[in-house]
Amino acid sequence: MSCISNKNFQNTKPAGLPATTSHLRRLESGLVVPATAGTRTFVSTRDMFPGYFDEEFVSYGTNVPAEAMPETKVDLYEMTADGNFETLLGSFKEEDVHVLFWENQDQILTWVENHPTHLHPQGCWATFFPFLVSGKPFVARVDRYERKLKAYVYHFGRGIVWYVGLRRRLVLPQRAV
């Protein structure tokens, strides 16, 4: 299995992702995020996260609007084995890896607003969203604790190994061929 590098991923749209990998299993497929303008970022919507807002969104330079995106279908996965972000996403076929990143933070924010029941139901257990800013990969983490949303950001290559026992989730955009 190859690791994912910090290269600029291109959206060449392979035919869909598998239901299971060595580290993930799909919980649901076909959830929809409506078209977004690409103007909202985590930084511009920090008030949406009254439980906690990670200031690293600012220091990592993620406050960059993106292009508008059409309606996008989404796959919701759950971890089945311990792993860091590179291992989790690397468990998909290599040719699929580049479509696992959201190209627009507005899409993630809209998904969180429209699908709150699909965030991990166990309070502060994480739901992850890999995303790109100017070609650089990051991962947003959204939790809900005491009915308040919390948002964190990580560099994609950060080596934290996430424990499978908490059944963390990943929300990944589907890309049609």
Mean pLDDT to the nearest integer, 28-33: 93
- How many angstroms separate the CA atoms of 41 and 103, rounded? 11
**Number of neighbours of residue 102 by Cβ within 10 angstroms:** 25
Q: Would you kindly state where each structural domain of the chain is located, as residue ranges?
A: 24-173
In this predicted structure, what is the pLDDT of residue 147?
84
Q: How far apart are CA 88 and CA 81, in angstroms?
A: 8
Q: Quick one: pLDDT band at residue 41, thresholds 50, 70, 90?
A: very high
Minimal CA–CA distance to 73: which of 99, 40, 45, 52?
99
DSSP letters spanning 117-146: GGS-SSTT--EEEEEEETTEEEEEEEEEET
Predicted TM-score (pTM) of the model is: 0.88
> How are the residues of the chain apportioned to helix, strand and coil, as percentages rounded to the nearest 5?
20, 30, 45
Closest CA to 104 of 128, 130, 85, 77: 130
pLDDT tens readout for residues 60-105: 999 999 999 999 999 999 999 999 999 999 998 766 566 789 999 9
Q: Which value, to the nearest 10 degrees, does the dihedral of the CA atoms of residues 75, 4, 22, 11 take?
A: 30
